[in-house]
A and B are shown apart, each in its own frame.
Chain A
Amino acid sequence: MYRKLIVLGLAAGLVLGLFTTGITEELAENQVLRIALDAADLNTLDPHRAAATMDRAVVDMVFNGLVRYKPGDILVFEPDLAVEIPEPTDGGLVWTFQLKQGVMVHPWDGNAGYELTAEDVVYSFNKAADPDRSSYAGEYGGMSFEAVDRYTVKITLAEPLSSMLFLPKVADYCGGFIVPKQPIEALGDDAFKTHPVGTGPFMFSEYVPMDKTVLVANPDYFRGAPVLEKVEVRYMPEVSSREYGLRSGELEVVEGRREQDWVETMEENPGIVVDVFGPGETVVLHFNLKREYIKKKAVRKAIAYALDRDSFLAFFGSTAEALYSPVPVKYLAGGLTYPELWAAGLAYNVDREEAKDLLADAGLADGFTMEAVTSERASYRRVYEQIQAQLARIGIDLKLKVVDHSTMHSLIREDTNPITIYIAWRANADVFLTRFYHSDSIVVTGAKSDTNFSHYTGIDDLIEAARSEVDADMQIALWKEAQREIAEYLVSYPLIMLKYIFARTDKVDWGYDLKSTVALYTQITENTRILK
């Protein structure tokens, strides 16, 4: 009898043992992910203000949108807080979203969480549309938001928009992040900047200035509790520090340096994997059409012929791709491909002799001098320094004035530069074209002065026609036409696309397939986990 029991016990123990080792073999005991970003500190964790990687990363984990870019793939939209992605009604003017039930807002400051309802969603969109409380108010002009019932939100547009242009506004990006009403009302906008409360898989726990923001798992997340218990977002501006942190096991994921040698150096380390993913940021040279020399098309052409994309690519390696039109065709609808450009005779492949001839014809055989303001940030300096060296070879002396990053952004908006390099990502072709090429966006003098550094006025009609075009193919055709105009007139010269680069221990499993993300970091979701 006893013997039987012992045998049974042994057997049970054996089975149980096998079973548990089977589980623990898969997951590491310590589910804490430490990710280091290239930043000295956070700026703001209010999603309607967040603009840079270090802020977007945290916001991405804490908040949701009505719809979302599929994790790891920005070409696909899927429902997030909404039950499904609706079709517009009333001639494309009305979008009605059904909310998922049981989505819980994180508890905060001793307050219990509560169920997110249409009231919160409407509140959030009104906040996003308010220029005093949002950086993205311009995106929501003419839109009205209404809570039809507890779980139904109706959005009415002034003009119909294609889904390509509408969905980003309600997705988990910029103003589309849903900020629940009660916590932000209780905390106030200022405190909310360093104490975000949302509905996402992770909840804010702690912020240590210049050091880190700590997030913990939200056990009530509507897609299920995350596997990770805790995420630490570390602010570490020195790449070598991040690198050694990863190597020594003090960090699991680090933002890299966007250069080929870094990829190679990191990959030499056993157990370290490098992720290079899109979309990244476009690097475009904007010509100031109002400036001496640059206003001559021959000079712009000479500069275009002097620039050498291959040389840039040799510098950045696999972390960059060539860019041929302002809208990056690989990631967004409406861009031009190289063959299309080539066919139009607007490819401007490097040809220094041609460049010098053009300058000579323009009466500038001895070249000329110009001065441009740039940022001390590495990505800008490294692009500008290469341009400087390449222009020097055709006799153009580009003097650089290096200032702090934010100061550069102030100064170039005051029309300081004859040529302006701008490194940016924008949500869609319309935003790219409107903000950089519409006459309303002309720096200083434009009606809504923004980032049209070239003072170009030639494609307003095309941009506007495309914006109100509901047919996707027609819309794309109009955008392409606009960019052919830009290339023809040489308003700007697209150089490259800088992608994002992160390295991680191979123990980190994202839980999705990472190709591209608008969150600008390797998204961390409820499925992200650390393997044993």
Chain B
Amino acid sequence: MQAIFDTQRACTVFDEGEAVTGYLVRRILLCIPILLAVLTLVFLLVRVAPGDPAVAALGDYASKEAVEALREKMGLNAPLYVQYFQFLSGLLHGDLGKSLITSRPVAAQVASAFPYTLELTASGILLGSFLGIPLGIFTALHRNAMFDYLGRLFSLVGLSVPAFYLGILLILLFAIKLELFPVVGGGNLSDLGETLRYLFLPALTLALIMMSYITRMTRSSVLDILNEDYVRTARAKGLRERLVVYKHVLKNALLPILSVIGMFAIVLIGSSVMTEVVFSRPGLGKMLVGAMKQRDYIMLQSIMVIFSSLVVLINLLTDLAYGFIDPRIRYE
């Protein structure tokens, strides 16, 4: 479990006597300094890196004066702490700033990219869960049967394969050999049919990876519950297998499964970046890599704000979910 659970957090346990709301508030407040530290780190790292957005914006033909003039205009000659406070105060006012390269408001850039990333990750998670949960239950119920071994091998392969390689394989097979789907791009979002055609292969890439994680998770979760005394008792009492599965196992196993699907989403962020790169989808991940290459500090900071907030938020929700899935609740 831990292997895939890269970001697993220490379970937070309710303190005796502490009100749930008090815990909630404390846990949420804790996110703020973490987020702030993340932002500061991003701010510093991108500026320490060699490279110059002015050069990136102007291209190689520009003279040194032009580069200098642009740096001044971009505000890059201001002392670091000034830039830092500008960034923070902008954030507080909900202003993400303007791209150093295209001068477009970052919010507009992000708004155009976000739907592509959202539909990709959402469909990856949904499709992955839709396939992974039944497979996990099935392999658990038929533990050590041939099918179980195959399922386990399959999911091991799934969590070993780099997303970009899986993407290439799918491109080679479905787009190049069979010519069933377009190779790359995002398609026109207002055209549903086209969107789906463009979405299919990248979503499948993520779904297969997601499915591997979820199959493993589901399998071990179901096995845990099958080992619980009350299920054994139920089975021993001769309750029909199917009934046992429905009544006890599913109900009790699904909650933890659902609670961790959110956490897989974090793992999936990395995979989605690579998937967007391979499939040239105009999403946030590709935008991030582009901003990195162009040293577009402002874009980079903002995208990182989004990604990190997402991670922190998911962590928060997971922690809360862990609190919620208290054993007493689980055993009724």
Contacts and interface: CB of A to CB of B under 8 A. Distances in A.
Contact of B66 (A50, A134, A234, A405): A134
A244 B183 contact: yes
B52 A406 contact: yes
A329 B175 CA distance: 44
Interface of A is mostly: loop
Interface in B272-298: 278, 280, 282, 286-287, 290, 292-295
Nearest to A407: B51
B59 A51 contact: yes
A52 B62 CA distance: 11
A194 B62 contact: no
Contacts of A135: 58-59, 61-63, 66
Contacts of B58: 49, 51, 135
A125 interface: no
Interface stretch (A37-45, A80-88, A217-225, A300-308): A37-45
A191 B49 CA distance: 28
B143 interface: no
Contact of A44 (B101, B109, B295): B101
A209 B282 contact: yes
Interface string B100-117: 011110000100110000
B26 interface: no
Interface string A437-461: 0000000000011110000000000
B73 interface: yes
A193 B103 contact: yes
Interface string A212-242: 0000000000000000000000101110110
A410 B103 contact: no
A193 B287 CA distance: 18
Indicate the member of A43, A411, A448 with the most B CB atoms within 10 Å. A43
A210 B280 CA distance: 9
Interface in A300-328: none
* Range class of the B interface residue count: 35 or more
A158 B179 CA distance: 62
Nearest to A237: B280
Given A211-B185, A237-B280, A448-B63, A406 B56 contact: yes
Nearest to B101: A43
Contacts of B51: 403-404, 406-407, 410-411
Interface of B: 49-53, 55-66, 69, 73, 98, 101-104, 109, 112-113, 171, 175-176, 179, 182-186, 278, 280, 282, 286-287, 290, 292-295
26 contacts: A40-B293, A43-B102, A44-B102, A50-B59, A51-B62, A131-B63, A132-B69, A135-B63, A137-B65, A138-B65, A194-B104, A208-B112, A210-B286, A211-B186, A236-B184, A237-B280, A240-B171, A244-B175, A245-B183, A406-B55, A407-B52, A407-B295, A410-B50, A410-B51, A413-B55, A451-B60
